[in-house]
Structure 1
Amino acid sequence: MTETAIADHGLVGDLQTAALVATDGSIDWFCCPRFDSPSVFGALLDDARGGHFRISPVGTEYRTKQMYFPDSAALITRFFTEDGVGEVIDFMPPVDSNATDNHRIARMLRCVRGAINFEVVVAPRFDYGRQAHQTNVTEHGAVFTTDELALTVHVVREPDDARLARLRVEDGDIHISLDLVAGQLRGLVLESAADGPPREIRVTEIRRLFDATVGYWRSWLARSTYRGRWREAVERSAITLKLLTYAPTGGLVAAPTMGLPEQIGGERNWDYRYSWVRDASFSVDALLRLGFVDEAARFGGWLGDRIREGAGSGASGPLNIMYRVDGSSDLTEEVLDHWSGYLGSRPVRVGNNAADQLQLDIYGEAMDSLFVADRAGIQTPHRGWTAIRGVLDWLADHWDQPEEGIWETRGGRQRFTYGRLMSWVAFDRGVRLAAAHGRPAAVDRWVLERNGIYHQIMEQGWSPARRAFVQHYHTDVLDSSLLLMPKVGFIAPRDPMWLSTLDAMDSELVTDSLVFRYDPAASPDGLRGSEGTFSLCTFTYVDALTRAGRHNDARQAFEKMLTYANHVGLYSEEIALTGEQLGNFPQAFTHLALINAAVTLDSVLERRKRFQ
């Protein structure tokens, strides 16, 4: 069990798929041709059988450091040896919004000082390691082929380089040795669906490709309007969200990975390579707050498509909670029995059966994002409004029933307070949109349902014994999803009932600024084991503290949370007791919440500074 730690990775991508590069120079995770396609390199989940693309110095000990090329998604892994300093620069040239099977991972090898002998090992394991491949070596590289996919390795070199006599094939994998001295740059380009056999790529060509890729990211990031205190963390989060976007549809995957555990050795190992309605909804608000109007419009368009397509409504309502990146909804879950899992954490799941759960909160999140977009000038067309009316009319008939809840637990349906809260948001935003634009709608009924939900939450979602709002109507368990109550406008942020709830969460769910979702021991969720603190909830806690006027507490919690980022500013889903990052990585939801918390807190601190 030698898998590299989750946090010891950086992310590169081309807006249709992505790869994780470890600090030792190994690509440990890559799915092709899409985020939700089978893996080609999967050493992150099984170092022995998953496959990898490793580059590292050979014959000497070395230390490594990793960083992003400033304001970009190009990743630099540096190696420090007794004989010299070398680096691998990884990037994926962005592809346009048209879906394609052609993707490139460029790996530039450079000797900075002295001399470096790099060893390259390309060991793909197609279809999660279930499909054998053939290897064909040529003068300019190699081709790995299966019945469904081919990967071509092109060699980067100069005309006067000797032929690659030091290339060998072992069990279908290729091994290459490259000796470089200070100033030399060579490399490899891994390409799917290449047009023709391997070709020799000149150094000038890969440099141009690198410059174009960095230029793309810098041009995109320059559109950000954020100039606050935590600009570096916010901009890295924005780039991460962009990397997790499937450009052809505008959908946002929750994470590029699957099967990473919420507890080492536990069974909470989900597949997150899909587009959640909830994540996409929150992304609209976060990106608009940074000035990325086009991206917010794309996410809004993705949501609108899902709403229009769901007009017929199935068992889970007009909307599924998640979709594949192309908008389809077949996410049948299976287990990869032949993989050991990250540090022995099994089962390793592909697909996600939670897709069919009834989670009523998604309707409020979707409507809130459309409302926020509308205020930014991104209006809903007639067909979209007609679909929205159908969704809200369905919700009026169905909101008052048990459901599975936001956390996708598998312990049975309950009357979750958060689901009711977001149903209130759905009707509230629908009423506001209808009034703002004079749109036809069953406004009287929507107002009636909105008011009924409000009274129900105040009467049944409030626990006099706990002096707090609770997870569902038949428990005293607290739930940090309710930290959004003041943000969505359900309750005033300094209402005594809310301040009392915040105090209760402080004492039970918060540990030195880190926040648990809920207590699984007190609220059985159908799964064995425990989990770490949930990073999304920690950043949401910062937002709630800020709105409650606890600005110093909010800033301290935010600054502490920044120390849990990995070496290049990325966050997974959870933080373990040891401070280790757990769960799928990097997680879009966490980076969305970081942006929202930073913008909210920074705005308040700026106002305070002006009046001092």
Structure 2
Amino acid sequence: MCAGRIDEYGYLADGRSGALVGRDGSVDWWCPSRFDAPSVFGRLLGDDGGHWWIRPAGEYQVERSYLDDTLVLRTVFSTEEGSVAVTDALALDAEARGHDIGRSPPGLFLRLVEGLSGHVPMVMSYAPRFEYGRVRAYLEPHGETSIARATGSTLGMTATVPVQHWETEATASFTVGPGQRETFSLSHSSTYHEREPMPVDVPAVLADTVEGWRSWLATHPYTGLYPDLVRRSALILEGLTYQRSGAVVAAATTSLPVRPEGHDNYDYRYVWLRDFSLTLRVLSVAACPVEAERLFRWIAEAIGDVGIEPIPIVLGVEGERDLSERELGVLTGHVAIGPVLLGNDAWRQRQQDALGQVLDAAWLLRERLEPMPDDVRRLLRSLTEQAADTWRLPDSGIWELRGEERHHVTSKVGCWMALDRAVRFGGVLGSAGDLKRWAAVRDEIRAAVLEQGWNPRVGAITDAFGSDRLDASVLILPLVGFIDAADPRMRATIGRIDQELTTDGLVRRWPGDSAGFVICSFWLVGCLALAGERDRATALFESLTKRSNDLGLFAEQIDLDTGEHLGNLPQAFSHIGLISAAWRLTAAATGRPTPVSTAI
């Protein structure tokens, strides 16, 4: 049995990892230790990856939703015999979050089955596969708990219904009547360092997890337009956060394809500086200043002393640098579209825009960095000098293109942003002579971008110096304060992208691309709002938000013909785009300033 469409999945999180649950009640992805750890359920990427499903034995229809203000998923199955609800959650990791919001140990999956009407026959299949499906462990019954051990990990699945064991799979058949409850829990621990799995009070821990999510959101009041959408996306970003460090991963999955031929299957379970200041900005918009400050301090520590070497543009969740990419031959890929990759060789690339991302983030948090720590000052000075010295170099660009480096416009703008923010800091970062020199280089970069990035034959700012190709990445120029959206050159660029790269509100990155890139579509919303086209921006925003799946989740891209989501899920970049576009519309409608000095 194959996994379903990417957009048929719901997302659960616990502060250190995430899980995907399909509409069929199957847990098809979970890497319990941390986001980039080996999976124990990997059916998402191939039938041999392992699964854990609970669902009606016969035909059924599905309605599902998150419990209000949580990442706790409730799926209602309706059958001819009656209806039943399955509530799924990862118990929040109180240790990782740093405060007491839960009574449970980390690595605990909760499943509660409740009869709503009639008597519904149910089936369960539990088939863990360690190390991305490489290892099938024997299941050993210990009372109500099924124990599986392999590769230094122990899984203990406890059920309140009778379970049959078939070496590497456990199954159950049971019937649920009105008001009847059956519970299932799955704990993950180290075989060598932690205690044996113990049964847990599933309803109590589930209620505690619900309260944990709601208490977090209650302390982060958002007061702009589209509050329900923004709150949902803020929850998803929180669910993509590795709480021990504060790092926000790009997505919870690896190798979900963006095109049928299977190219560009990448592992996104890492932290990109490309997303850094954008993440901080939306955390501020969503009233999450503590999370924003924590993320910045982690990034500053993880980068360390840069010197003359290129800044590391992607890191592991605990600051790891070497993320060498390799192909996993065990699994065939989502709907047999491979390859399945672990690691990401983008860590080897030069991406000049990352310099500006860090300086911009520091400027955003300037009040919370007073007085500025010496290590932060040294880092920011080092990045500023690197931008001044290397801005003329080609790089791999914001889209991490593999091949020949080019003079990407957005990379030059990233260097401009680094110098611009450094000059704004004034004497905090440099002497009068430093500031004068940085300002001169900043102005030189801006002049070069406007001269060499603008192509009069195309009538737009293009992707790279001397190029004639449109690229939606240049929509960020007015959003970071480089150029006014109403400037004739930018206005013409927005018009060309709107005309040539946009289909039914979905913006492709470049001509010939087969799918709309979600954040680019939200960038267009922001640009239209800044250009004074508020009605058009509002209509585009509302059409885009309707393209999420039924739970409000976005992957990276959306197929122009079918509307199917493509790429890793959930995608932080996409939800960052939604929040920032909502705030830009709020500012346009109310005249309220953004919470930071430059536009999102």
Q: Which category of TM-score, normalised to the shorter sequence, fits these structures?
A: over 0.9
Determine if the alignment matches structure 1 residue 120 to structure 2 residue 112: no
1:443/1:229 Cα in 2 relative to 1: closer, same or farther (>3 Å)?
closer
Contact 1:281-1:299 at 8 Å conserved across structures: no
1:193/1:546 Cα in 2 relative to 1: closer, same or farther (>3 Å)?
same
State the partner residue of 2:142. 138
TM-score by structure 2 length?
0.93
- In the TM superposition, residue 170 of structure 1 has moved relative to its aligned partner by 2.2
State the partner residue of 2:345. 353
Matches within 5 A, 1:421-570: 421-435=413-427, 442-519=434-511, 521=512, 530-570=513-553
Matches within 5 A, 1:249-264: 249-264=245-260
Contact 1:483-1:544 at 8 Å conserved across structures: yes
- In the TM superposition, residue 143 of structure 1 has moved relative to its aligned partner by 0.8
State the partner residue of 1:161. none
Contact 1:142-1:198 at 8 Å conserved across structures: no
Q: Distance in 1 between matches of 2:580 and 2:464?
A: 26
1:196/1:306 Cα in 2 relative to 1: closer, same or farther (>3 Å)?
closer
The superposition leaves residues 432-483 of structure 1 with CA deviations (integer Å, 9 ceiling, x where unpaired) of 1134687788222211211110111111111111121110013111111111
- In the TM superposition, residue 598 of structure 1 has moved relative to its aligned partner by 0.3
1:97/1:407 Cα in 2 relative to 1: closer, same or farther (>3 Å)?
farther
State the partner residue of 2:276. 280
User: Which one-letter code corresponds to 2:337 in the other structure?
Assistant: S
1:97/1:399 Cα in 2 relative to 1: closer, same or farther (>3 Å)?
farther
The superposition leaves residues 243-267 of structure 1 with CA deviations (integer Å, 9 ceiling, x where unpaired) of 0000011110000000001112321
1:380/1:594 Cα in 2 relative to 1: closer, same or farther (>3 Å)?
farther
- In the TM superposition, residue 335 of structure 1 has moved relative to its aligned partner by 0.9
- In the TM superposition, residue 606 of structure 1 has moved relative to its aligned partner by 2.8
State the partner residue of 2:404. 412
Partner secondary structure for residue 446 of structure 2 = helix
User: Which one-letter code corresponds to 2:413 in the other structure?
Assistant: L
Aligned length: 582
User: Which one-letter code corresponds to 1:551 in the other structure?
Assistant: R
Q: Distance in 2 between matches of 1:99 and 1:331?
A: 25
Determine if the alignment matches structure 1 residue 45 to structure 2 residue 45: yes
- In the TM superposition, residue 569 of structure 1 has moved relative to its aligned partner by 0.3
User: Which one-letter code corresponds to 1:42 in the other structure?
Assistant: G
- In the TM superposition, residue 23 of structure 1 has moved relative to its aligned partner by 0.9
Partner secondary structure for residue 44 of structure 1 = helix
- In the TM superposition, residue 348 of structure 1 has moved relative to its aligned partner by 1.3
Determine if the alignment matches structure 1 residue 602 to structure 2 residue 578: no
- In the TM superposition, residue 334 of structure 1 has moved relative to its aligned partner by 0.8
Q: Distance in 2 between matches of 1:324 and 1:560?
A: 35
Give the fraction of aligned pairs with identical amino acids, expressed as a percent. 34
Matches within 5 A, 1:102-501: 102-155=106-159, 157=160, 166-193=162-189, 196-201=195-200, 205-307=201-303, 309-314=304-309, 317=310, 319-375=311-367, 380-435=372-427, 442-501=434-493
Q: Distance in 1 between matches of 2:154 and 2:163?
A: 20
Partner secondary structure for residue 70 of structure 1 = coil
Q: Distance in 1 between matches of 2:374 and 2:269?
A: 32
Q: Distance in 1 between matches of 2:433 and 2:185?
A: 55
Q: Distance in 1 between matches of 2:178 and 2:419?
A: 65
- In the TM superposition, residue 196 of structure 1 has moved relative to its aligned partner by 4.2
Contact 2:422-2:429 at 8 Å conserved across structures: no
1:147/1:50 Cα in 2 relative to 1: closer, same or farther (>3 Å)?
closer
The superposition leaves residues 170-205 of structure 1 with CA deviations (integer Å, 9 ceiling, x where unpaired) of 24111122322111112111111175445444xxx3
Contact 2:31-2:38 at 8 Å conserved across structures: yes
> Mind listing any 5+ residue stretches in structure 1 that lack a counterpart?
158-163, 522-529
User: Which one-letter code corresponds to 2:59 in the other structure?
Assistant: E
- In the TM superposition, residue 333 of structure 1 has moved relative to its aligned partner by 0.7
The superposition leaves residues 360-383 of structure 1 with CA deviations (integer Å, 9 ceiling, x where unpaired) of 011111211111111566764221
The superposition leaves residues 246-298 of structure 1 with CA deviations (integer Å, 9 ceiling, x where unpaired) of 00111100000000011123211110000111223211110111211111111
Any runs of at least 4 consecutive aligned residues in structure 1 with deviations exceeding 3 A, and if so which?
96-102, 194-201, 375-380, 435-441
> Mind listing any 5+ residue stretches in structure 2 that lack a counterpart?
99-104, 593-600
Q: Distance in 1 between matches of 2:393 and 2:199?
A: 63
1:196/1:438 Cα in 2 relative to 1: closer, same or farther (>3 Å)?
closer
1:467/1:378 Cα in 2 relative to 1: closer, same or farther (>3 Å)?
farther
State the partner residue of 1:33. 33
Q: Distance in 2 between matches of 1:115 and 1:363?
A: 60
Contact 2:138-2:167 at 8 Å conserved across structures: no
Partner secondary structure for residue 332 of structure 1 = coil
User: Which one-letter code corresponds to 1:350 in the other structure?
Assistant: L
